[in-house]
Every structure is written in structure tokens, then in C-alpha cells.
Structure 1
Amino acid sequence: MPLKNSQYNTILRWYDQLQAQNQRQLEQRQEEIYNAIPEIARLDEAIARTGADYARRAVLETSQEKGHESGNGALSAFHSDMERLNREKSRLLTDHGYPNDYLEPVYHCRDCKDTGFIGSRKCHCFKQAVVDLVYAQSNIRSRLESENFDTFRMDYYSPEKDPRLGISPRENMENVVAACHNFIEHFDQGPKNLLLYGSTGVGKTFLSNCIAKALLDRAHTVIYLTAFQLVDILEDNTFGKDEDSDVTENMFTYILDCDLLIIDDLGTEMNNTFITSQLFLCINERLLRRRSTIISTNLSLDKLQREYSERIFSRIVSEYQVLFIFGEDIRVKKAISS
């Protein structure tokens, strides 16, 4: 997945800044603790001396060609001393009301320790940084501050039972939200897919954003695209219309490989045979790669089957959990209340 040098360097600079920020935070905590608990400053000095003494002994024994058994004994004594000093340090921290790891390095991503790499392999946080860079997610990220499970309101859905369906919009939405939480909680156990369908303004996009935020908070790579945006990328990747072909190639690759792809408002794009074939490629390839997808649409299942190929419809109904949402248009309700 080639990146332009400028793009790659932008990400590496961000990691450098992150590491510098982490170091400043650690130094501030260390200064705070040394002032509050002077004994810990003395313990840190003892830890440093113990390490230096062991290093000197190891060099000396190597130069004098002492036996392997002697070296093992020194190493065992070194570990014993270090464990004792660190236990005392942890005890002092907790006795004074601090977490016992308060002086440990602080990382945004503990998997790669904010380096972007685990060995020679790019960390999941690096992949998300690339996604953020090559495709501007600022719109969805700003929306996630206001559209998440903490701000979700069930009172927009009527408790009155629909006589045709035998269930109220609120009770139905409670079931849908429970299914979404289940989707999130079991996300790491294998690929899962959702189809959210219903009329305009019933909360499909809002709910997709709720799921997106929950998974982004767990360091999963998430790409949100409207059907229009997805079609543009598919067309550009095929016909090379985009002047910046590196960006298009990266985006197409990440669409197929990100942990979660959200396709919003399927059915609003201009459809034709080419788009249908490319959409099938996208959906099918993600299934083969065992990647999760959420699709939202205003189309009924019957119309979805008529608008798209039988292959697409078959993949969706067999591989996706289908969730129907109904109720009044929430956007209209919000407009009236304001």
C-alpha cells in the first residue's frame, strides 16, 4: 500500500510528537512524585546504581573470562535487587494514593508504544493514521462527538404499538440497539455484518456513527463512506480519473482491508451495471477477507433486490444481520422542537 513520501513523513512526525508529549508527561509526573515522596527519588537513584553496578560486573567478568555459573549468580542477584526496589517504589506510590504504575511510560497505543510499528509490521494505530490521512474523516470524527451511544435518545421513538407490526418503534429500536451493542462486544471474535434499513430520518446513520465511535475507541480501523463517495472511489480506481492516483490506490486498498467499512445511504447513488459489479466486488472481497461491513439504506428489501443484482442481495441476506428501523422522521421532530 504505497504512500507518498510526504504522507509517510507526516505520519512519522506525528508519532515523534506523540513520543515527545509522552516523555514530557512522564517527566512532569516524576517531578510531582519526587516533591511529594522524596523516598522515591532515592529509590530511583538506587535502581540506577544497581543497574550500573551489574553492568560493570558483567564487563569485568567477561574481560576476566569468569565462568558461566558466576555470571548466572550475578544476574539472579541483580533481578532480585531490582524486584525488591521496584516493589518498595510501588508500595510508596499506593500508600500515598497514587496508582502503582503512575511513573510508568504513558502510551496512547500500548501495543506499539507509540512507535507505529510492532517489530517490522505496521501497528493497527498506524493503519488508522493512514486512513485518516488519505481520506479526510474530519466530518465523521466531529459528528462522533455528538452522535454516540451516550447521546442516543430513545424518547424519539414512540412507545405506541404499530398494529401492522405488533411492536412499537421504541421497543423495536431497543432490540436494534441491543443487537448493535452485541455487534461491538463480539467484534473481535470474527467478522460480523449489519444491514440497517428503514425510511428516511429514523436513525440509521446516527446508529452507524455510534458503532463507529465505539470501535474507533477500541483502536479498530473504521472507514465511513456515503454510497456516493464509495462509487467515486471505485470509479477512480478503475478508470484513473483521480489526479492523485496514490491516494486513490491507498483508499481502495483500505476500503477492502479496514476492520469496519460503513456504507451509508446505499441506493442514493446513480446505479448502473458497472457500479453494481464494483459494489459486489467490494462486498464479496470483504467477506473473503473476513472484514466487517455495515450498510444502511432507505430501500426496502424488495426494492434492494430489484435495484441490485441477485448476487449482491444474496450475499447481504445470507451474511448480514438485517435490522429494520421504523418510526417518525427524527430530523423533522428536532426541527419542530427547536
Structure 2
Amino acid sequence: MPLTNNQYNSIMQQYEALHIRHRRERENRLQRIYDTIPEYKKLEEQTASASVEFGKRIISGESLDKGLLASKLNDLAAQKEKLLKDAGYASDFLEIGYVCKDCKDTGYIGNEKCHCFKQKIIETLYDKSNLRAMTKECNFENMTDSYYKGEDLTRFKGAKKAAEEFIASFNIDYQNLFFFGTVGTGKSFMSICIADELLKKGNSVIYFSSIGLFELISEYAFDFKNKAWLRTVYDDLYECDLLVVDDLGTEIMGSFVAKELFSLLEERGNRKKSTIITTNYSLEGLQSIYSDRIFSRITGNYKLLRLTGPDIRKEKKLAKKGKKSE
């Protein structure tokens, strides 16, 4: 499913908007320095003139040691850094705060698309659930154990610890997670928290509800005009660093879904690409719905994490109603 020209241009416009913002922010910070430390501007002018003068002398035929210019520029840079420090500014005050430090918000590293560009493509093509928006609410900062008690609390703490270990070792140790348990106990929330942290680390993440995933696959599988696009869809599903399949069991089950699910789990396993699955079904319920091959893949290759307790979504709604009635 390649990007259209409009989609590509839209992504590039996002990077251009970042460049404009960065430039304005740095100009504003630099003007602030000029206003409070006049000597800093003089050193900036000396830096520019030193480079220009050195270039002119090279062009005129003089044989000069480039180390002399480097030494001069280093000395001026040290003087500027001291001025900033003496005035109470951080040494990196004038540095640009890139969203992606790897490509410096260009979208490319050399001639290759940066991981941040690839994630933007994923979000453009597949993120019908709007994962980025979901992570604003579902993140570890907003996570709380206040809804859990007793054995439920123990399970929650165990699942959180497993999630944190999964994130910490993600790029060095292949793992899969399977969250199961009763409705509304935080399984989807936990999976989105993990996705959020891995996105911050520059990993590519595709998030799908189970229904949305198989609707997408079937949309292209039965449209013979789009076989090339289907291959691209599979490539993305197989190759993304993390695939999250939420609410497994809500899709309409049949031989097609069973076959595609098994192929997906098998291929991602062969490629050592991590997957997170959530479901409201118990292990017994899951086994009764899916084939033994699928059940075996999940129970054998995934860390099984059970969450139980009250329906947190209902608890939150009741709390909101209570506040409104006060």
C-alpha cells in the first residue's frame, strides 16, 4: 500500500513546519542572548569573519594550515560558552531541540528514510485507531494501581513489571506478550503504554483492533486488482518492530481469519519481530475458538499475563457522574 503523492507531500510538509518552528525558536533565543550579552554578538561576528578571511586567503593562493582556523574557532566557541555560563544560561540553550535527533527532523538519513518517516507512513496508512492520540491518555505517567486490590493488584504489578522489562530489552531480546482476562481491566491500556515508550525510542509500531486488522487484509485479499498493495501490507505487518493486535476474538471467525492469523504469527515469529495480543477471553475460551496450531503458537511463544479486577472504564464513568451530581 504505497503512499500517494498527496500523502508523501503531507508528511514532508510536517517536516518543513518543524524546520520553520525550530528556526524561529532559535532566532528568538539568539536575540535574547544578544539583548542580554552584547559581547556574545561580537564573538559571533568574529567567528564569521575569521572563516571568511581564512577562505579568502586560501583562494588567493596562500598555503595555510587548516588547524589554525580550527584552533581560532574553538577558542571563540569556548569564550561564547563561558559568556553563556556566566550569564546563567545552559550550555545547550541555543541548540535546536529536534523531535528526531537521528535525522534532525529531515525524515532522511542520507538517502534512506529515517525510522521517524517510516512511522509516519505507518500512521498514515494503517493507524485508523489514531495511536498517537491514544498514547496521550494511555501512558505510564497516567497508569495507576488504585483500581486493583488483593490478587488483582498482584497480577497488575506483575504485568506492569513484565511490560517494563519488555521495553527495556526490546532491541536486544525477542519477546511477545499476551494480555488476557476480564473486560475493562487495563489490557489495552497496558499495550498502548508499551507502544508509546517504543515509539519514543524510535521503533516502528502498528496498532490494530482485531476487527480492523482482518478487515484490512480481507479488503485487499479479495480484490484481485490490488494484489501488489496486499504484498506491501503484508510486508509492513511482517516487518514493523512491534505489532499490537487488540481485542482478539472480536473479529468474525472463519477459516480465512484462522489461516491469516496463523500465518501472521508464524511469519513474525520467524523474523523475530515482537507482537502484543490482548483478548477478553480466558485461555480455555481462546482454545475453543481457534485452532490448536494458533493456541500452541500463543501459549508457547508468548509471555502470558492475566489481568483481573473491576471494569475500570465503568468505574471511571461512575466517578465522573458522581462529580457532576455534587
Q: Structure 1 CA distance, aligned partners of 2:36 and 2:226?
A: 55
Q: SS at the partner of 2:171?
A: helix
TM superposition shift of 1:248:
6.2
Q: Structure 2 CA distance, aligned partners of 1:97 and 1:250?
A: 53
Q: Structure 2 CA distance, aligned partners of 1:5 and 1:248?
A: 19
What's the C-alpha RMSD, in Å, of the aligned pairs?
2.2
Q: How many residues align?
A: 320
Alignment of 1:173-252 (within 5 A): 173-240=156-223, 251-252=233-234
Paired position in structure 2 for 1:165? none
Alignment of 1:1-338 (within 5 A): 2-61=2-61, 70-71=63-64, 74-137=65-128, 139-159=130-150, 168-240=151-223, 251-337=233-319, 338=321
Quick check: 1:131–1:251 contact (8 Å CA) kept in 2? no
Q: Give, as a single letter, the amino acid of the residue that structure 1 aligns with 2:25.
A: Q
Distance 1:39 1:185, change over 3 A: same
Quick check: 2:123–2:130 contact (8 Å CA) kept in 1? no
TM superposition shift of 1:136:
4.0
TM superposition shift of 1:220:
2.2
TM-score by length of 2: 0.91
Quick check: 1:124–1:220 contact (8 Å CA) kept in 2? yes
Q: Structure 2 CA distance, aligned partners of 1:276 and 1:218?
A: 33
Q: Which stretch shifts more, 274-283 or 111-120?
A: 274-283
Deviations, residues 165-197 of structure 1 (Å, cap 9, x unaligned) = xxx111221111111111112222233210001
Deviations, residues 280-325 of structure 1 (Å, cap 9, x unaligned) = 2222222223222110011222332332233322222232111111
Q: SS at the partner of 1:328?
A: coil
TM superposition shift of 1:219:
2.8
Quick check: 2:50–2:69 contact (8 Å CA) kept in 1? yes
Deviations, residues 60-110 of structure 1 (Å, cap 9, x unaligned) = 23xxxx7xxx44xx2111111111111111121122221212222331111
TM superposition shift of 1:259:
1.8
Q: SS at the partner of 1:155?
A: coil
Distance 1:324 1:132, change over 3 A: same
Q: Give, as a single letter, the amino acid of the residue that structure 2 aligns with 1:42.
A: K
Quick check: 1:26–1:106 contact (8 Å CA) kept in 2? no
Provide the identity percentage.
38
TM superposition shift of 1:138:
6.0
Gaps of 5+ in 2: 322-326
Quick check: 1:134–1:250 contact (8 Å CA) kept in 2? no
Q: SS at the partner of 2:299?
A: helix
Gaps of 5+ in 1: 160-167
